[in-house]
Amino acid sequence: MEKIEAMAAFKLFVMEHGLPKIDMALFGVKCPYCGKSDRIRQLETPEELNGDLASADLAQYTTLWQSLAKEDVQLGFCKFCLNPLKLDLAQGQAEPLFEFD
């Protein structure tokens, strides 16, 4: 699955399933797309959603997560511009998932 296709599928999945389940904003973390700093939410890992999603949905989420979150990356979502993000919680930053040339 190509990067853009994976991001679009992930974005749609997150919106259709009302993720994240815990709706807590990461204040002070600025979205690189829209600049909002009060709308970023940390997404649950597939392991954290085990039992909260149907098994087929969990399998799809796991596949999408693994295609986007390489090497222990934490994913987030901007509830304003609806873009998936890569989070660096130690630095308090959100970044685009990929740099497209």
Per-residue pLDDT for the chain (101 aa), expressed as one digit of tens each?
588 898 999 999 999 999 999 889 898 899 999 999 999 999 999 999 988 999 999 999 999 999 998 777 899 999 999 999 999 988 999 999 887 54
Decide if 66 is inside a domain. yes
Decide if 101 is inside a domain. no
Total domains in the fold of the chain: 1
Decide if 88 is inside a domain. yes
pTM above 0.75, yes or no: yes
Decide if 19 is inside a domain. yes
Decide if 40 is inside a domain. yes
Q: How many angstroms separate the Cα of 25 from the Cα of each of 16, 29, 86? A: 19, 9, 15
Decide if 79 is inside a domain. yes
Q: 13: which residues sit within 8 A by CB, 6+ positions away?
A: 19, 57, 60, 61, 64
Domain range spanning residue 11? 3-96
Decide if 25 is inside a domain. yes
